[in-house]
């Protein structure tokens, strides 16, 4: 009987002794899992998030128009090259504007255009000047006052955006007014001249290349 009581007492003591350790082990295991989850969640939250969409804010500020394809891709006559030079110099690097450049030089307006700030130039192409009968064009080129009047009629003393061309009237350096209408990439100036390459940036101007010479009233 004494031996039986001793064995029962020993088992009870062992159970009492082991139970706290088992509970502690379970408690520690649960605590570790929770801590690990919190740590992982913290790590996930701290990771930088990728932008939902690319930044295309400048997408609407690019040159547009069918004639833009003929602009050189590299060099001083490219869009990038022209953006670094004042407008008269930039135009001189574009072969399609050689007649305009010669007229600007003939009128003595190179410095005037290059030194102006924030202007807009409606620049007729060589083909635009070719629409004028040669005798009439030669007469204009020989008359500095008339030539100056015509050329300054193509210059607006402020920046003009494509959005403003949709339905706008602008005063020119010649003191006359020009009007523009259109939308998207199709704009007409004075109901006669179409923009064939627009929103071209130079160091001091925005240029809209047009297919017809604008004539002041």
pLDDT, average across residues 31-56: 42
Could you tell me which residues come within 8 angstroms of residue 84 by beta carbon, excluding any fewer than 6 positions away?
203
pLDDT for 183-209, tens place per residue? Answer: 999 999 999 999 999 999 999 999 999
Contacts of residue 194, Cβ cutoff 8 Å, sequence gap at least 6: 186, 187, 188, 210, 211, 212
Summarize pLDDT for 132-172 with one digit per residue, the tens.
Answer: 999 999 999 999 999 999 999 999 999 999 999 999 999 99
Look at strands 119-124 and 205-210 and give their pairing. Answer: parallel
User: Quick count: other Cβ atoms within 10 Å of Cβ 186?
Assistant: 14
N-term to C-term CA, the chain: 134
Q: What is the pLDDT of residue 38?
A: 44
**CATH architecture of structural domain 62-210:** Roll (2.30)
Q: Max Cα separation, the chain? A: 142
């Amino acid at each position: 009987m004494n031996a039986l009581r001793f064995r029962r007492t020993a088992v009870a003591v062992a159970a009492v002794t082991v139970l706290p350790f088992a509970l502690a082990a379970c408690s520690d295991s649960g605590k570790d899992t929770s801590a690990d989850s919190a740590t992982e969640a913290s790590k996930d939250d701290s990771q930088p998030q990728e932008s939902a969409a690319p930044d295309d804010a400048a997408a609407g500020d690019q040159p547009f128009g069918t004639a833009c394809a003929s602009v050189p891709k590299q060099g001083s006559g490219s869009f990038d090259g022209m953006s670094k030079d004042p407008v008269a110099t930039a135009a001189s690097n574009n072969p399609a504007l050689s007649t305009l450049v010669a007229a600007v030089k003939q009128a003595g307006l190179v410095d005037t255009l290059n030194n102006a700030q924030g202007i807009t130039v409606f620049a007729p192409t060589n083909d635009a000047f070719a629409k004028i009968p040669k005798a009439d064009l030669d007469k204009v080129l020989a008359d500095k006052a008339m030539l100056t009047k015509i050329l300054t009629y193509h210059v607006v003393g402020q920046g003009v955006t494509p959005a403003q061309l949709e339905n706008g009237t602008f005063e020119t350096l010649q003191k006359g007014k020009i009007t523009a209408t259109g939308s998207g990439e199709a704009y007409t100036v004075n109901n006669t001249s179409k923009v064939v390459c627009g929103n071209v940036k130079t160091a001091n101007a925005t240029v809209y290349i047009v297919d017809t010479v604008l004539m002041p009233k």
